[in-house]
Homo-oligomer: A and B are copies of this chain.
Amino acid sequence: MTTEAEYLQQYDPSRFPSPLVTVDSVLFTIAEQALSVLLVQRARQPQQGRWALPGGFIDIEKDDSTHATALRKLTEKTGVSPSWLEQLETFSGPTRDPRGWSLTAAWFALIAWVDCQPHIASVSDAKWVPVSALPNTELAFDHSEIIQAALHRLRQKTMYSLLPVYCLPERFTLTQLHEATEIILGQPIQRKSLIRRFEASGMFEETGESVATGARKARLWRRKPDANIHLFSRNLLAE
């Protein structure tokens, strides 16, 4: 019989074969009227030169969860923190990475295009790719599959929450939210339905400002500082 303290003293973490562990994120935005995902060109082997999701290894010294790893990698690539970040799913298996049995904790994130455009435009190894262009793009590892899962999550949540606001700048108009929602779902949405939800959510406040976009000025809104996302009990587009 050994105590836990004795056991830990003689514990050797390298005794058992362990999978290769990474963290990858699917960061979406609306770029020029197109739902787009951030891709990064791999600087090193394996799959050197291929486009891949932003991510990498956990820094055991610095990161105190895979959430921290995802946030650190995204901030390195975009210069800012994403507005939304939630765990997606973990992908694993012996063949998804040529180095051997591997596991990646995938995260799902949203950001406003204007918030990171200056940073992205200044580097050559990161770019926004419209999701409509993905079928023609061969990505590293199983990253296409991960993006498909993230896209499914994004569309589902858009039907029962106002998640698309996290793709918009801090101050936004209802028309911007409406357009973002239609772009994500790929079909027309009743503006009235969206506005009803917008009011019922209690998540937003007027800034008092308004902007002209050609005709009547539109009011500018922002998220209330501590408002949590509101989940509706019915979906849009229920058919």
Contacts and interface: CB of A to CB of B under 8 A. Distances in A.
Interface of chain A: mostly helix, strand, loop or mixed = loop
Contact of A234 (B17, B87, B94, B234): B234
Interface string A86-111: 01011011100011110101000000
Q: How large is the interface on A (under 10, 10 to 19, 20 to 34, 35 or more residues)?
A: 35 or more
Interface in A209-228: none
B45 A66 contact: no
Q: Which of A45, A60, A90, A233 has the most CB of B within 10 A?
A: A90
A99 B11 contact: yes
Contact of A45 (B2, B64, B94, B105): B2
Nearest to A100: B13
A202 interface: no
B87 A16 contact: no
Given A4-B47, A60-B101, A87-B89, 10 more contacts: A4-B98, A8-B98, A13-B20, A13-B99, A17-B60, A65-B93, A90-B90, A159-B233, A233-B235, A234-B234
Interface of A: 2, 4, 7-8, 11, 13-14, 16-21, 45-48, 57-58, 60, 64-66, 87, 89-90, 92-94, 98-101, 103, 105, 159, 233-235, 238
